[in-house]
C-alpha cells in the first residue's frame, strides 16, 4: 500500500485558504509528490491544469469569487476537458447533490472527501494515489448519503449489516485488501461478502476495483 502512496505524482492544488494550501503543499512534498502549482480560485486551477497536465488536482469546493460551489464547477470542467487528470475534491461539508454531479456518468479518477480526512495523512495519500490512478475515493459520509438517497431500499434491506459495511467501503473505493484491513478480517471473507452483495443486488461479477465502484455507484444512483 505504501508503495502506491509513495509513487511520485504531479499535483495541482486549488484552495483559497492560504494556511491550508501551504499545509497541503508541505504534506504532499514531504511524501515525495511534486506540486506543480498551488492556486486560489477556479479559473487559475483550469489554467494551471491546462499548463501542467498533472496526474491529479486537489480542489476546494468554496473558492472566490462566489464562495459557493466555484471549485465544484471547476472540477466538473476538468473532468470534461482533461479526463486524464484525476480530481480530488475537498470540502468542509459533503453534499449529496455535489457528489451526484461529480460522479455523473463516470466515477473514474474522482474523489470527494471532507477536509478532515486530510488529517489522516496516510489514508489521504492513499486516496490521492487512487484517484490519480483512475480509481475512486469517496468520503464515508458521501457514501452514507448516497446509500440514504438511493431509492432501491428494498434490495438494500436484503443485505446483512456486515454486507452494508462492505458495500459502503466498496463505495469509498477501497480494494478487497483495504476492506479486509479496515474490518480486521481476511481477504477471503471480504471476497465472500462481495460475491454475496453482487448476488443480492443482481449485479454481474466484474473484475477490478474501478468497475466495482462504478457498478455500486450506478446501483446507488438508479
Partner 1 sequence: MARTGQVTPTTATPPRGRQPAALRAPFTRRARLELLFCLAAIPLGFCLLLVPYWVAGPALAVALLAPAYDSTWVAAAAAIPAILLLVVLATRIARRLGVVHRRLAARLLGERVPPPPPLRPGRGVAGRLAAGLGDGPGWRAVAYQLLKLPLAVVEAYAAFLWVAGLANLSYPFWWGLFRNHPPGVTLDPVPAALPFPGRLFPVATFAGTFAAFAAGAAMVLAAPWVTGAVVSADRRLLRRLLGPGRLAQRVRDLEQTRALAVDDAAARLRQVERDLHDGAQIRLATMAMQLGMAREKLDDEGDPEVRQARELVDEAHRAAKDALAELRDLVRGIHPPVLDNGLADALATLAAGGGIPVQLTCDLPRRPTPAIETIAYFCAAELLANAAKHSHATRVTVQVAERDGELVLAVGDDGAGGADPAAGSGLAGLAQRVRTVDGRLEVASPPGGPTTVTAVLPLRA
User: Which residues are near partner 1 by CB under 8 A?
Assistant: 17, 19-20, 23-24, 26-27, 30, 62, 67-69, 92-98, 100, 115-116, 118-122, 144-146, 148-151, 153
Least distance CB 7 / partner 1 (angstroms): 18
**Smaller CB separation from partner 1, 7 or 51:** 7
Closer to partner 1 by Cβ: residue 77 or 95: 95
- Longest CA–CA separation in the chain, Å: 50
Report DSSP state, residue 69.
S
**d(Cα 109, Cα 13) in Å, to the nearest integer?**
16
Q: For the CB of residue 124, give the shortest distance to partner 1 in the complex, in Å.
A: 8
- The nearest distance, CB 192 to partner 1, in angstroms, is 28
Please, what is the minimum distance in Å from the beta carbon of residue 91 to partner 1? Answer: 9
- C-beta closer to partner 1: residue 93 or 188: 93
DSSP per-residue codes, 105-162: S--TTEEEEEGGGGGSHHHHHHHHHHHHTT-EEE-HHHHHHHHHH-S-HHHHHTS-HH
Choose between 48 and 72: whose C-beta lies nearer to partner 1.
72
Of 200, 212, 205, the C-alpha closest to 172 is: 212
User: Cell 490512478 belongs to which residue?
Assistant: 133
Q: How far is the CB of 148 from partner 1 (least distance, A)?
A: 4
Counting every residue written for the chain, the total comes to: 222
Amino acid at each position: 500500500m505504501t508503495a502506491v502512496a509513495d509513487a511520485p505524482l504531479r499535483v495541482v492544488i486549488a484552495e483559497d485558504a492560504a494556511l491550508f494550501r501551504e499545509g497541503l503543499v508541505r504534506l504532499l512534498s514531504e511524501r515525495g509528490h511534486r506540486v506543480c502549482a498551488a492556486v486560489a480560485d477556479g479559473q487559475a486551477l483550469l489554467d494551471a491544469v491546462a499548463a501542467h497536465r498533472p496526474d491529479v488536482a486537489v480542489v476546494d469546493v468554496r473558492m472566490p469569487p462566489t464562495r459557493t460551489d466555484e471549485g465544484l464547477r471547476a472540477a466538473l470542467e476538468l473532468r470534461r476537458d482533461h479526463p486524464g487528470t484525476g480530481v480530488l475534491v475537498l470540502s468542509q461539508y459533503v453534499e449529496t447533490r455535489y457528489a451526484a454531479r461529480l460522479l455523473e456518468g463516470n466515477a473514474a479518477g474522482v474523489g470527494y472527501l471532507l477536509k478532515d480526512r486530510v488529517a489522516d495523512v496516510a489514508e489521504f495519500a492513499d486516496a490521492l494515489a487512487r484517484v490519480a490512478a483512475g480509481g475512486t475515493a469517496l468520503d464515508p459520509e458521501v457514501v452514507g448519503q448516497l446509500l440514504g438517497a438511493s431509492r432501491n431500499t428494498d434490495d438494500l434491506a436484503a443485505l446483512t449489516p456486515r454486507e452494508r459495511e462492505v458495500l459502503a467501503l466498496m463505495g469509498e473505493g477501497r480494494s478487497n485488501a483495504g476492506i479486509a484491513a479496515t474490518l480486521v478480517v481476511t481477504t477471503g471473507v471480504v471476497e465472500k461478502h462481495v460475491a454475496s452483495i453482487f448476488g443480492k443486488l443482481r449485479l454481474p461479477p466484474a473484475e477490478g476495483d474501478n468497475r466495482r465502484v462504478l457498478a455500486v455507484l450506478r446501483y446507488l444512483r438508479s
